[in-house]
Amino acid sequence: MKKITVLLVDDHTVLRQGLRALLLTEPDMEIVGEAENGRQAVQMAVKLAPDVVVMDIAMPQLNGLEASKQIAREAPSSKVLILSSYGDDEYVHRLTEAGAVGYLIKQTAANDLIKAIREAQKGNAYFSPAIAKRLLDRYRQTFCTGGKPLKPKSTVRLTSREREVLQLVAEGKGNKQIASDLCISIKTVEKHRQQAMNKLNIHDIAGLTRYAIAQGIIESTPRLAEEPAV
């Protein structure tokens, strides 16, 4: 029997080790790799073509939202399953819109995760019971009132590159380092950075960092008050 190949993506080593130990007890599953950030996840998904990518959201260098978008584009045969501590409707909407086939909160039961991986491998959607109930209640209420399905409050739309630059700026990296990390010119970094600021109507690094934290792009920041060196 062909095993379900799984790529684990989380910046916390202990959590990855726990997931590995859990999944290795399942005879139909095989861990083919581990990544500690979204950029590694995209590279490994392209190289290894796992059946399922179990992905966190808030990670350094490239967050789970942008990584999910890139995997959907560059490794479409791999199904992304989100496993995160963020469980509000806005995150669920944005991640499923980005291409994830399922969404679980980290407090979910182990058997839910195992079932979700099997369903994701088949291409089926799977959500934590609490999330599934909220989604069902929302659409049932909308149907009963004859209205259109309600979407979470819309946010400013940044391009994938703008969000990548935003994350690295919020992590305290300067333009030169960002250019090196993304293999683009410093002028291009400056362009994306300015475009993101204009769209968000935010004009300082502290504001960008607070926005990134609020959006779950980063979890924390080493500095809030000063701009990184360029």
Q: Give the pLDDT confidence of 117-162 residue by residue, as tens digits.
A: 999 999 899 998 888 777 776 666 666 666 555 554 546 788 888 8
Query: Do residues 70 and 175 lie in contact, with contact meaning Cβ atoms separated by under 8 Å?
Result: no
SS (H, E, C) 13-54: HHHHHHHHHHHCCCCCEEEEEEECCHHHHHHHHHHHCCCEEE
Going along the chain from its start, the domains and CATH numbers come out as 4-141 (3.40.50.2300), 160-214 (1.10.10.10)
The alpha carbon of 113 is separated from its chain's Cα centroid by a whole number of angstroms, namely: 17
Higher pLDDT pick, 149 / 70: 70
- The angle formed by the CA atoms of residues 83, 15 and 116, to the nearest 5 degrees, is 35
Q: What is the pLDDT of residue 56?
A: 93
pTM of the prediction? Answer: 0.76
Sequential DSSP letters for 127-173: E-HHHHHHHHHHHHHHHHTT-PPPPPPP-----HHHHHHHHHHHTT-
pLDDT at 175 over 60: yes
For strands 102-105 and 29-35, give the pairing: unpaired
Backbone phi and psi for residue 83, each to the nearest 5 degrees, phi listed first:
-130, 105
